[in-house]
Structure 1
Amino acid sequence: MGKGVLLVNLGSPDSTDPKDVKTYLDEFLMDPRVIDVPYWARTLLVRGIILNTRPKKSAEAYQKIWWEEGSPLIVLSERLRDKVQEKSTLPIGLAMRYGSMSIKKGLQELVAKGVDDVLLVPLYPQFAMATTETILVLAEELQTKYFPGLKLSSLPPFYNNPDYINVLAQSIKEQLDTIDYEQLLFSYHGVPERHIKKSDVTKSHCKIDGSCCKTPSPAHQYCYRHQCFETTRLVAEKLQLKEGTYFTSFQSRLGFDPWLKPYTDRTIERMGKQGIQKMAIVTPAFVSDCLETLEEIAMEGEEIFHEVGGKDFTTIPCLNDREDWASLLSNWIENWVAHKDPLVVEA
């Protein structure tokens, strides 16, 4: 049985042309695990309102961060794939949940190389309906329809894996060692609060009341909020950060429903108004820099901070194609090949 690996990230428009951005946003926002309302309501919201106003604005945002080689997210994911491939004897593929680099194409390319046993690697440390779950559900649908002989397994969320925490903490430390800062903000991508409750396997634990994420429960296996706060806690512990010098917040909300709080933009504003002059910000829900980190945080976030009197604003890069990150992924792949728990920590 030939084994192979498919790394899967979010995706990107093919270009910064508003038409390409509109096509991408349509696929993304029409995903029922992204906007989880009835189809008619989602169609009215997305195709009746959002796609008539947002593509031009989003295209302008992409233009600010687009590289000569293309979308930063795609380029960085390709660099990571190449580094993992150098360390592995297995075929390593790359796909995106949305856009032209589809999961179907990624699976087809692996099958063409003789692969019939695939490890899916969603490039998201924390589990969420709109990230990991939508990748796994689509992959299963594609397997049933187009690849019935293909065996699929997946890398679990790795938000609390000690080796991952070591790599993440080291990447943060390298930046913090070069600057003077007063506050470190851990900014995670936001999701609607209802997503947290929908993912609660106990149907009763997640109350988003400040205590449920700290109280042990089977719900934590699929609780994005808990997993974000736990990532922050473990990194802070690893770096021996002092209480009160770091905070967790959530960015990129959409619409009027309640999303996870506190909001990143308001937290940045609050810190600046409180007299914080020097802050650093890291985005551990992303492993690759993208629109949400390069434009929303590094540009818009810095602008907010300066407008309220802040001085130094440092954006810490994602893991991207760091050598230690690529090595860690290859180690997890080797564990899978050896029929071990991929995330096992060797003594």
Structure 2
Amino acid sequence: MKKGILLVNLGSPDSPEPKDVKKYLGEFLMDERVIDVPLWARTLLVKGIILNTRPKASAAAYKKIWWDEGSPLIVISERLQAKVQKQVDVPVGLAMRYGSMSIEKGLQELVDKGVEEVLLIPLYPQFAMATTETIVVLAEDIQKEKFPNLKMESLPAFYNNPDYIEVLSNSIKKHLEGKTFDHLLFSYHGVPERHIRKSDITKSHCKIDGSCCVTPSKAHEFCYRHQCYEVTRLVAEKLELTDGKFSTSFQSRLGFDPWLQPYTDRTIERLGKQGIKNMAIVTPAFVSDCLETLEEIAMEGQEIFHEMGGNEFTTVPCLNDDDAWASLISEWITNWV
């Protein structure tokens, strides 16, 4: 059977204009795995409130980080795809969970090239309902409805893969070379606490109490919080960071329900108040720089830090289209083929 690969990232509006941002946010926030409340409540919240207030502000944020070539996340993902394609002998497609570069279009392009078996690669190191799960579930639904003869499997979360940790650690080390920092903050995208409990296959382990993430359990296979802390631990070990020199936080909360803590913005504020003058921040929940890293962290985070008396604020780029990262994905593909 002819094999092919579909890389899948989050997605982006077609432009930073409010109308395109509104369309994108509508698709994103109406996903039942992003805002996991009953349809009537989600519709009321998203279409009745958020889409009438948020698109203009979000569009202004996108305009701050938009490149001449287009959305940074899309451009970076296309560069990564091109590098991987040069290193493997099977077709490599690219799709987004939300937006015009749909998973259906990506699968169709592969099928048009004669592909009969697809390896789906969600570009997220950690498993989460709102990332890996929503990609895999949608892809499986599309496959059953549109491509019944297509075989498909997906790459599992690779947060603790030794080669991935090596590539990530080396990238951080390279970008911090020559930099003076008193603290390295690992900032991950936040999720509601209820997502952690919903993903607990044991239905009893995840209590978000400070101990469950370090207590061995089958629940860890699908526990976003555990997987984030594990990335921090493994990278800190690889970089030989000492206790007190690094910490973990969670960004981008939405609404009033409890989200994973500590929050990134408040952590940056606290570190500044504590007298940290030079800090660095890395965002290992993302493999591609995007609105959350380029605007929320590199711009807003830096502003908070300086307001608290901090001096140097160093943002470590995501892996993006790093050669070692592209080579690692290519190696995974070659092993699968």
Q: How does 1:267-278 map to 2 (within 5 A)?
A: 267-278=267-278
**Alpha-carbon deviation of 1:177?**
1.6
Residue 167 of structure 1 pairs with residue 167 of structure 2: yes
Residue 57 of structure 1 pairs with residue 85 of structure 2: no
**Alpha-carbon deviation of 1:110?**
0.1
Structure 2: tracts of 5 or more residues without a match: none
The separation in 2 between residues aligned to 1:125 and 1:32, in whole angstroms, is: 21
Deviations 1:12-33 (A, max 9, x none): 0000110000000000000000
The separation in 2 between residues aligned to 1:242 and 1:292, in whole angstroms, is: 27
The separation in 1 between residues aligned to 2:329 and 2:182, in whole angstroms, is: 33
Residue 310 of structure 1 pairs with residue 310 of structure 2: yes
Q: How does 1:108-187 map to 2 (within 5 A)?
A: 108-187=108-187
Q: Which residue of 1 aligns with 2:205?
A: 205
The separation in 2 between residues aligned to 1:90 and 1:231, in whole angstroms, is: 30
The separation in 1 between residues aligned to 2:145 and 2:19, in whole angstroms, is: 30
Q: Which residue of 2 aligns with 1:343?
A: none
Q: Which amino acid aligns with 1:276?
A: I
Instruction: Determine helix, strand or coil for the equivalent of 2:153.
Output: strand
Instruction: Determine helix, strand or coil for the equivalent of 1:208.
Output: coil
The separation in 1 between residues aligned to 2:16 and 2:176, in whole angstroms, is: 33
Q: Which residue of 1 aligns with 2:252?
A: 252
Deviations 1:299-343 (A, max 9, x none): 000000001101100000000000000000000001111xxxxxx
Instruction: Determine helix, strand or coil for the equivalent of 1:20.
Output: helix
**Alpha-carbon deviation of 1:176?**
1.8
Say which is worse superposed, 315-324 or 169-178, in terms of deviation. 169-178
**Alpha-carbon deviation of 1:178?**
2.0
Deviations 1:82-108 (A, max 9, x none): 000000110000000000000000000
**Alpha-carbon deviation of 1:175?**
1.6
The separation in 2 between residues aligned to 1:181 and 1:139, in whole angstroms, is: 42
Instruction: Determine helix, strand or coil for the equivalent of 2:41.
Output: helix
The separation in 2 between residues aligned to 1:132 and 1:140, in whole angstroms, is: 12
The separation in 2 between residues aligned to 1:106 and 1:149, in whole angstroms, is: 16
Structure 1: tracts of 5 or more residues without a match: 338-347
The separation in 1 between residues aligned to 2:183 and 2:174, in whole angstroms, is: 16
Instruction: Determine helix, strand or coil for the equivalent of 1:313.
Output: strand
Give the TM-score, by structure 1 length.
Answer: 0.97
The separation in 2 between residues aligned to 1:93 and 1:176, in whole angstroms, is: 33
Instruction: Determine helix, strand or coil for the equivalent of 2:314.
Output: strand
Q: How does 1:181-330 map to 2 (within 5 A)?
A: 181-330=181-330
The separation in 2 between residues aligned to 1:230 and 1:74, in whole angstroms, is: 28
Deviations 1:21-78 (A, max 9, x none): 0000000000000000000000000000000000000000000000000000000000
Give the TM-score, by structure 2 length.
Answer: 1.00
**Alpha-carbon deviation of 1:114?**
0.2
The separation in 2 between residues aligned to 1:120 and 1:26, in whole angstroms, is: 25
* Runs (4+) off by over 4 Å: none
Instruction: Determine helix, strand or coil for the equivalent of 2:9.
Output: strand
Instruction: Determine helix, strand or coil for the equivalent of 1:286.
Output: coil
The separation in 2 between residues aligned to 1:63 and 1:176, in whole angstroms, is: 28
The separation in 2 between residues aligned to 1:23 and 1:177, in whole angstroms, is: 41
Q: Which amino acid aligns with 2:93?
A: G
Please provide the CA RMSD for this pair. 0.3
Corresponding residue pairs, total = 337
The separation in 2 between residues aligned to 1:121 and 1:57, in whole angstroms, is: 32
Q: Which amino acid aligns with 1:289?
A: D
Instruction: Determine helix, strand or coil for the equivalent of 1:253.
Output: coil
Deviations 1:187-217 (A, max 9, x none): 0000000000000000000000000000000
